[in-house]
Structure 1
Amino acid sequence: MNPIEFKIAQIRAGVSKEDIAKHLGLNPTTIYRKFNGESDFTLSELRKLKKFLNLSNEDVDRIFFSEELAKTQET
């Protein structure tokens, strides 16, 4: 996950991490763990985030999969 890109999307949407946690039905501590890379977002959570933050498919790729995409392009 790219935390800077996520923060930009969060600011554009005008929501807090607590708002995101509430929307996803998660404890705020769980959200902070996901933001810090200690655990991953599920596909269901990504779908909800995409809609909640009004993200395009490209935004989702850039925010959540940039590292994985870079690794596959290296090989």
Structure 2
Amino acid sequence: MKPNELKAELQRKNLNYQDAAKALGISVVAFQRKVNAITEFKSSEIGALRDLLELSPERVTEIFFN
């Protein structure tokens, strides 16, 4: 997980943590914990972020998988 890359994609779309958390159906605190690698993103959450941020499959791999 590359948190800075995810943050950059959120900024590119003019979205904040609240927007992303709402799209995932989780709290902002839960989203922060995932971004900070305290907990992991579920595959369904990665898919929702892919759609929200309009990420290519390559970009998803770059951000979420080392």
TM-score by length of 1: 0.84
Distance in 2 (CA, whole Å) between partners of 1:65 and 1:41 is 11
Deviation at 1:4, TM superposition (A): 1.3
Q: Which residues of structure 1 form unaligned runs of 5+? A: 67-75
Task: Report how many aligned residue pairs link the two structures.
Answer: 66
Q: Which amino acid aligns with 1:56?
A: S
1:1-60 deviations in Å (ceiling 9; x for gaps): 101111111111110011000111101110010011001110111111000011001110
Q: Assess if the C-alpha contact under 8 Å between 1:2 and 1:64 holds in 2.
A: yes
Root-mean-square deviation (CA, aligned residues, Å) is 0.7
Q: Which residues of structure 2 form unaligned runs of 5+? A: none
How does 1:29-68 map onto structure 2 within 5 Å? 29-66=29-66
Distance in 1 (CA, whole Å) between partners of 2:58 and 2:18 is 25
Query: Which structure has the bigger radius of gyration?
Result: 1
Q: Which runs of 4+ in 1 moved over 3 A?
A: none
TM-score by length of 2: 0.95
